A and B are shown apart, each in its own frame.
Chain A
Amino acid sequence: MEAIIPVIITSVCVYGLFRRINIFDSFVEGVKEGFGTVRFVAPTMIALLVAVGTLRASGFLDFIAELISPLAESVGFPAELVPMGLLRPVSGSGATALLTGIYRDCGPDSFAGRCASVVAGSTETTFYAVTMYYGAAGIKKIRHTLFSALLADLTAIIVSVITVGLLMS
């Protein structure tokens, strides 16, 4: 388990050397792209973290979680996951802001923290992808695309709780 990451990194580098690629230059190029990504998302992230911070500091998020928790807990579902699950298909940065809120309140290694991490790692910003791909192709009628895509997102939320519950506790 703990060897996954070093194995991926080492095999990529060894394969690159074997194919006679200048792996150092490639790595540096990639770092530049990574920095570009961070710079690209930074303004949106700061804006949404401020908005989520407002909701948190006012006590509104706790209020919502308290409202949902009796229902959620009766089926073993962490209540903190609900707001994030709702925001995830609409706004990637918004969901990340809520994710960090869960890390801060419950810890990244808590049950809720792990479930939220799995949701974040196994879903995408659905509405963004649908708009972009169909927009570029000039498609007006998308039929059941959104239904199937959102069903996949919902499945991810449910399965995250099941896998974390079965494999990690």
Chain B
Amino acid sequence: MSYIFGVMIALGFIYALVSGNMAALSAGIPEAAASAVELLISISGMLCMWSGFMRIAKDCGLTEKLARLLAPLLRRLYPDIDPDSKAFGYISVNISANLLGLGNAATPPGLNAMRELRKRSGTEIASDSMITFVVMNTASIQLVPATVAALRKSYGSTQPFDIIICVWITSAVALAVGLMSSRLISALTRRGRIWKR
């Protein structure tokens, strides 16, 4: 992180030196800091509002309800995991919390799910189910893109949520591609191993 930060600052300085933009740079740096704080304040209202509503959803059991609704789908994605096992429970709570945009609530069951899967496999090599699970967590499956909408609103968007359908389609396609590629590679490498024998 220090490296990225340092390179960005240095690149800006060198480019300004070469292109003669030094005046704009010395005005721009403090301005960037000031507008960063303005931005944080202007998005916090909308972010707090969404965490409020999603907290209601969590407290009235919508997360567990969603987890039960998702069970048939998750059984297909994780054919190796017993649907009555602890690991399966953690996975479904993690996925439901992610769908509701409850990032903080999704992480603890997610970590537990990984530890359970590790206990079952007993090796330091990722299993197919672990890969499926991590790929699902590196893709955003949030139903309400609250942060993006808050940012758009603070920059004067008239309809900050008009992108929601595009976000759903894009997330679904991206996740499908990620999961299918992982399935395909698993299948190919497994066959490779049989050939080697």
Contacts and interface: CB of A to CB of B under 8 A. Distances in A.
B158 A147 contact: no
Contact of B134 (A1, A23, A145): A145
A59 to B, nearest CB: 5
Q: Is the interface of B mostly helix, strand, loop or mixed?
A: helix
Given A91-B4, A94-B4, A138-B118, A35 B161 contact: no
B42 to A, nearest CB: 11
Nearest to B32: A53
Interface in A134-169: 134, 136-145, 147-149, 151-153, 155-156, 159-160, 163-164, 167-168
Contact of B140 (A30, A52, A103, A123): A123
Interface string B1-43: 1001100110111011001010011011101110111011001
B192 interface: no
Using C-beta atoms within 8 Å of the partner chain, give the interface range for chain B: 35 or more
A141 B157 CA distance: 44
B139 A100 contact: no
A69 interface: no
Contacts of B163: 114, 117-118, 121, 164, 168
Given A42-B40, A57-B28, A137-B118, A26 B142 contact: no
A130 interface: yes
A133 B25 contact: no
B85 to A, nearest CB: 16
Interface in A110-127: 113-114, 117-124, 126
B55 A57 contact: no
A28 B142 CA distance: 22
Contact of B177 (A8, A114, A118, A155): A155
B174 A137 contact: no
Nearest to A44: B1
A147 B142 contact: no
Nearest to B20: A59
A46 interface: yes
A161 B140 CA distance: 17
Interface of B: 1, 4-5, 8-9, 11-13, 15-16, 19, 21, 24-25, 27-29, 31-33, 35-37, 39-40, 43-44, 47-62, 103-104, 107, 110-111, 114-115, 117-118, 124-126, 130-131, 133-135, 137-140, 142, 144-145, 147-148, 151-153, 155-167, 169-171, 173-175, 177-179, 181-182, 185-186, 189
Given A29-B55, A145-B126, 13 more contacts: A1-B165, A26-B59, A54-B9, A57-B16, A57-B24, A94-B4, A100-B151, A103-B151, A122-B174, A123-B174, A134-B130, A143-B126, A145-B135
